[in-house]
Structure 1
Amino acid sequence: MRIPLTRHRLAMAALVACLGAATTGAAVVATTGTAWASAPSTGRALTPGTRFYVNPDSEAAHQAVTDLLHRDFPGAAAMAKLATWPEATWFTQGTPAQVKDQVRTLVRHAAAQRAVPVLVAYDIPLRDCSQYSAGGAQSDADYQAWIAAFASGLGDGKAVVILEPDALANLPSDCGPTTDPTGAISAARIADIRYAIGVLEAHPGTSVYLDAGHSQWHAVGDMAARLIQAGVAQTQGFFLNVSNFEPTGQVDEYGTWVSECVWFATLGPDWAAGHTDWCASQYYSAAAPNDGAPGNSVSPSDPSTWHWTDAWYAQNAGTPPVAQLTHFVVDTSRNGQGHWAPAPGTYSGDPQVWCNPPGRGMGVRPTASTGVPLVDAYLYVKTIGESDGQCNRGIAGGTVDPEYGIVDPAAGAWWPAQAHTLAQNANPPLTVNPNLF
């Protein structure tokens, strides 16, 4: 049961005060205006001074109060710290009228904080290949009505929209050989994304980012081709690592290659036009000797070999004009300890390394001051403490997750133990947001 909001705010005020932060006990409010400057491409780029909206009624905030009432003081302190950091708000269902109202309310709350909200639109038909996060609109027409209403709720306020996680990295044609044998459903998916871009980008304060998976999934050229087809040139850029665990440095490097590949095939040399398939990737580079000797080919699991991919871009793309390169954002909510792999031989089937991996931790705090030229922001997109689904590590007929000895909560359900683990293992260590008050 949730603690009533007034009581929750008072308890949160006491907790944060005990952590050494000055507070008045009111809702979380920022103290300086949001910086928002023009980008060469769209005029909507985030500047280093941008601050993001903090939800005073978050799951972490409620968990802090619950822990306090149960006299779990270390847990309460950890959740209180987590509650001071901005996280994205997910919109996953509802009628057009409902989502419009919900988006408008969030934008209004963010404006009161003088902060920028990060919204996740997640209602595409055949979402998640009908697996753990199954759902979404029942038809393309329903989706387009829903996303048009979502966009209408934005108004002219500042906002970042993470448009449909996995929508491009997990096209219907990727779901299995019988899901989309003709490619018609995937074509409709692309059309839905392009429609969404149009209605969202009609709002001058909105920056839209498209799905580009992560560094251990699609090859660079494959992902670049999907982004181009979906209309990335009409957006602020793409997003990476949502709900995943790949290390920030590796994701940054992958994203830079994707951006360079998009440029290479669209604005680069005439001979490269349309050829994302020529781009080097985390799996292969023609610049490497590829002679079988150790270190002489690119390995996705060995970033020390990725210099061969860098070499290919240096040789074939040179130094593209910075203003022509696509920017991106990275989800660092759970990648502080990197990805997880069980000991060899632990599981005979798919160990589901993406699904509630044990021992993970929060990563780099949300910021638009990344120090990486093409990275607009590090964000907490996945809600920290929500389950990925009921994992069974590939054990046929199994329902219990052997890593935890329980049936995991359903996808999207709040899991206090997971939230505490991610906070405890945060890298860098979790602190109160110094820019909160």
Structure 2
Amino acid sequence: MRRKHVFADAVAASCGLTLVAALTLGVGTTAPDAASAEAAPAAVSASAAFPRPLYLEPNTDAAKSAARLRSEGSVASASLIDQIATQPTAIWLGDWYTTALLRSVIKRNVDASKAQGTTLVFVTYAIPNRDCGGYSAGGHTNAEYLDWNREIAADLQGTSAVILVEPDSLAMLSDAKCAGTAATRLPLLRDAVGILAAAGLSTYLDGGNSRWLSPTDQAAWLNAAGISGATGFYTNVANYNPVALERDYAGKVSSRVGLKHYVIDVSRNGRGWTGTWCNSPGAGLGVNPRVTPDSGKLDALLWVKHPGASDGTCNGGPAAGAWFESYALDLVRNR
């Protein structure tokens, strides 16, 4: 199974995203030995990664949906959607933006975050051969990718933003579809982390999830991708696994990557795994996102996946990334 990330209306003020984590380890390339990890620039310390509350982006699909429902007199439904619209979600940056629009999106959110006094969380999603030819195929070319990261670093210099670097980029490398990809991807990820970290940004790499690779295999990929130069790693992006299960898994990964810190996506894990990955019936909204000081290696519980963004044309959903209002309502009702 794959995570699907297809974005609708790239010019919109906010991007819906779809990102579903794989559960089955494909036959193909194997994880590299941890000894292959290369030295990387010094990371932003985990203690400094989330110094303020999480940034709440205005005018998201959920906010627009709630406003429309309320104007139509559907006050009860609007109140349910408000449970999504009033919570911080990560901001996704990808190759669907022109350079000018990328700068505009970043500036708008940086300015709003300064006014709020909050911590920005961005996701980069434009790695070459993204999704290894799957539903979310795309990304920049090798030649473009690092310049794209330099643009993001320059635009975010001085903001102390958090960057979740390229979901699926590591865990998926063990799939047969990605055979041969590691040789070019791993150096790109190491360099991207170096570029972003040099701008004072907190970087987290792809840590998969507890139902995907073993902690040992995931840690080997993280080491090879330069986790030593990153703040940490993230787990459970767009997946449904309970926090307790993810913390146990992430702790085992952390112990194999120099005791690095981590964050967990809790956007729709309120009911745990319900047996299918695509617009999973019965899934429930997770706990509200928040910074988690004094929680060991866990830095934050985040909504990385935008609750209510469709996984694709499955289980009654619209195109991947489109707002799926009935599903959003169900996520809240099943909380």
TM tier, smaller = 0.7 to 0.9
Are the aligned partners of 1:132 and 1:389 in contact in 2 as well (CA < 8 Å)? Answer: no
Give 2:193's match in structure 1, choosing from 197, 200, 210: 197
Number of equivalences: 294
Amino acid at match of 1:76: A
Q: CA deviation at 1:175?
A: 4.3
Selected match of 1:335 from 269, 275, 279: 269
* TM-score using structure 2 length: 0.83
**Is the Cα contact below 8 Å between 2:46 and 2:232 reproduced in 1?**
no
Contact 1:333 1:379 in 2 (8 A): yes
Q: TM-score, normalised by structure 1?
A: 0.64
Alpha carbons of 1:326 and 1:212: their partners in 2 closer, same or farther (altered >3 Å)? same
Cα deviation 1:196-231 (Å, max 9, x = unaligned): 101100122x21100011000001110000000000
Q: Aligned with 1:329: secondary structure?
A: strand
Q: Does 1:365 align with 2:265?
A: no
Structure 2 distance, partners of 1:333, 1:370, is 19
Q: Distance in 1 between matches of 2:82 and 2:284?
A: 16
Change (3 A) 1:73 1:46: farther
Partner of 1:262: 257
Alpha-carbon distance between aligned partners in 2 of 1:233 and 1:148, rounded to the nearest angstrom = 20
1:124 is matched with which residue: 113, 124, 127?
127
2:240 pairs with 1:230: no
Q: Distance in 2 between matches of 1:133 and 1:46?
A: 33
Residue number among 383, 397, 418 corresponding to 2:306 in the alignment: 383
Q: 2:143 aligns with which of 141, 144, 148?
A: 141
After TM superposition, the structure 1 = structure 2 runs for residues 250-289 of structure 1, keeping only pairs within 5 Å, are 250-263=245-258
Bigger shift: residues 118-127 or 94-103: 94-103
Letter in 2 for 1:327: H
Structure showing greater Rg? 1
1:409 aligns with: 318
In structure 2, the residue matched to 1:425 is 334
Give the Cα–Cα distance (whole angstroms) in 1 for the partners of residues 221 and 89 of structure 2: 27
- Cα distance in 1 for partners of 2:111, 2:99 equals 18
Q: Which has the higher contact order (CA 8 A, sep 6+)?
A: 2
Aligned-pair CA distance for 1:47: 7.4
Gaps of 5+ in 2: 1-8, 10-41
How far off is 1:363 after superposition? Answer: 1.0
Distance 2:195 2:66 in 1: 38
Equivalent position of 1:75 in the other structure: 77
Match of 2:91 in 1: 89
Q: Distance in 2 between matches of 1:327 and 1:227?
A: 13
Instruction: Evaluate the alpha carbon distance shift between residue 360 and residue 46 of structure 1 in structure 2; reply closer, same or farther with a 3 A threshold.
Output: farther
Work out the CA distance in 2 between the residues paired with 1:44 and 1:112: 24
Q: CA deviation at 1:233?
A: 0.8
Q: Does residue 244 of structure 1 match 2:239?
A: yes
Structure 1 spans left out of the alignment, 5+ residues: 3-39, 264-324, 342-352, 392-400, 427-437
Aligned residues: CA RMSD: 2.0
The question of whether the paired residues in 2 share the 8 Å contact of 1:95 and 1:146 is answered with no
Percent identity, aligned pairs only, is 38
What secondary structure sits across from 2:255 in the alignment?
helix
**Once the 2 structures are TM-superposed, how far is the Cα of residue 57 of structure 1 from its aligned partner?**
0.7
